[in-house]
Chain A
Amino acid sequence: MALNLTDAFLELIRRASSDLPPDVERALVAAHRREEPGSVAKGALAQVLLNVKVARESSRPLCQDTGTNIYHVHLPASVPHGKVEKAIVAATRKAVKLNYLRPNAVDSVTGKNSGDNTGVGQPQIHFEQWGKGHVEVSLMLKGGGCENVGRQYAVPDAETKAGRDLEGVRRVVIDAVQKAQGLGCAPGSLGIAIGGDRGSSYLLSKQQFLRSLDDRNPDRELAALEKRLLAEINELGIGPMGFGGKTTVLTVKIGKMHRLPASFFVSISYMCWAFRRARMTIRGEKVTYGY
């Protein structure tokens, strides 16, 4: 049987929308365990965990905001980009009909919803050609509520007295979380990029969400900062949904890139608890799925 590329993508969307990666779910279970018995924070996390179970069992969206659909596609030269893009768009339209995705694409000038979740820049697809023979795809659904609380700082920053070093990065990240409060459906995850220009910096910050929550940053200094920030941010006590509590973020991931001597950007992307990421590998006719 020949591979139906559209159906392969449709299954990727279903998985991304209705399930959480196991590393994220484990972190939420641990967060639930830590909260005080009887607290509203614990109650909120219990509802979150129940919701994950119900969504998975019924193939429904974990959250009704099925977000910006961000694809990263690695492919060999033999596979045409256009073919993959067409399949993604067709799968997206089908996914809306099946209620895996919400019609979530609005014309920025007329305000009209396209009705099928496609439009200019939605879905968002990043292609990268590579030397391997197979195709690898990751899909992240990035909700609007948490996207709205992302921030970018051009340091030095006067308000936080942040300078152009890792101490400055630490300061602005704490500032960003304090300003976000519970708005992005805490407990969330932080993807941080240091360097680049404004555009590449935000992109790299989001790509941190493709890392497993349990991985270790190969850069020792960044690994230490990730650990310190995770502990300090949870001291803020903002808690699940901003109700107050022990877990405000589940993880902190930092990436770096070179910058111009004139610029020093720190970009902070916030991913809500509904941290939806799924992966697909296509080798010949064989499709496998993961997180």
Chain B
Amino acid sequence: MAIRIDLPVSEEAIRALKVGDDVRLFGNIVTARDTAHKFMIEKRPDWLRPILAGTVIYHCGPVMKRLKDGWRAVAAGPTTSAREEPYQGTVIGEYGVRGVIGKGGMGPKTLEALKQHGAVYLHATGGAACVLGDAVKSVEGVHMLEEFGVPEAFWIFRVEDFPAVVTMDSHGGSLHAVVKEASGAVASRLIHGI
């Protein structure tokens, strides 16, 4: 059974999550990728704080369609999270973000920040852009669209039943580290015969 998470979410609810948990998100999430992360660290804008507090950041550069009175997410799957590793821990602490959705997992700095501040890493299915885009029920706003372009802007998506798996939790658990270690042992046997 998937666990329902309503956003914004409390630290307590996030700390209750464990690696392997299947979750479904409801509420507002905010896209941010490379340019946005650099911006969050270098400019630390105050207008962004209420938008991010208690919610989750989505590593995503969507395909967006302009409608008469707004926007629609046509395709919105996750992008590789590892690129934000230098920034993520600081962003989580600075803005009170409770989680990050992406793909591929993140490194030790982020894992430490998840522990310290009470946040989780949520893995969405890489490439499942239509299914995930359809979970975006409306676009509540967009920031820095002119400056960053469509894929890099901060899009505020209201999602319903957005599926993801907890692969890094606030207790130091990381599915990525476990799989890497186990596969590393097999690889070394296959390569070196030991």
Contacts and interface: CB of A to CB of B under 8 A. Distances in A.
A137 interface: no
How large, as a class, is the contact surface on chain B? 35 or more
Nearest to B192: A161
Contacts of B82: 183
A64 B79 CA distance: 9
Given A161-B192, A181-B183, A242-B104, A62 B150 contact: no
Given A64-B77, A185-B126, A103 B20 contact: no
Contact of A178 (B62, B76, B175, B187): B187
B61 A64 contact: yes
Interface in B155-194: 163, 165, 167, 175-176, 178-180, 182-184, 186-187, 190-192
Contacts of A238: 179, 183
A183 B167 CA distance: 14
B183 A148 contact: no
B125 A145 contact: no
Given A99-B74, A182-B104, A61 B179 contact: no
Question: Which residue of B75, B79, B103, B180 has the most chain A CB atoms within 10 A of its CB atom?
Answer: B75
Interface in A156-198: 160-161, 171, 174-175, 177-178, 181-183, 185
Interface stretch (B10-18, B93-101, B128-136): B128-136
B90 interface: no
Contacts of A177: 187
Contact of A236 (B75, B149, B178, B183): B183
A161 B62 CA distance: 42
Interface string A208-246: 000000000000000000000000100111110111100
B187 A175 contact: yes
A113 B151 CA distance: 10
Interface string A43-58: 1100110110011001
Given A40-B22, A54-B134, A64 B80 contact: no
Contacts of A174: 187, 190-191
Nearest to B60: A64
Contact of B175 (A48, A65, A243): A243
Nearest to A46: B125
A175 B186 contact: no
A68 to B, nearest CB: 15
Question: Which residue of A104, A144, A145 has the most chain B CB atoms within 10 A of its CB atom?
Answer: A145
A47 B128 contact: yes
Nearest to A175: B191
B108 interface: no
A135 interface: no
B179 A237 contact: yes
B75 A237 contact: no
Interface string B38-81: 00000000000000000000001111010000000011110110
A114 B168 CA distance: 36
Nearest to B180: A181
A272 B175 CA distance: 20
A244 B175 contact: yes
B86 interface: no
B123 interface: yes
B52 to A, nearest CB: 22
Nearest to A148: B80
Interface in A233-276: 235-239, 241-244, 272-274
Nearest to B72: A99
Given A55-B130, A185-B126, 16 more contacts: A40-B20, A40-B22, A62-B130, A63-B127, A64-B61, A64-B133, A99-B65, A99-B75, A103-B149, A144-B80, A236-B187, A237-B179, A242-B104, A242-B105, A244-B182, A273-B126
22 contacts: A47-B131, A51-B131, A54-B131, A55-B75, A55-B130, A58-B130, A60-B75, A62-B75, A62-B129, A63-B77, A63-B126, A64-B74, A64-B76, A64-B129, A64-B151, A102-B63, A102-B151, A111-B35, A145-B103, A160-B192, A181-B105, A182-B105
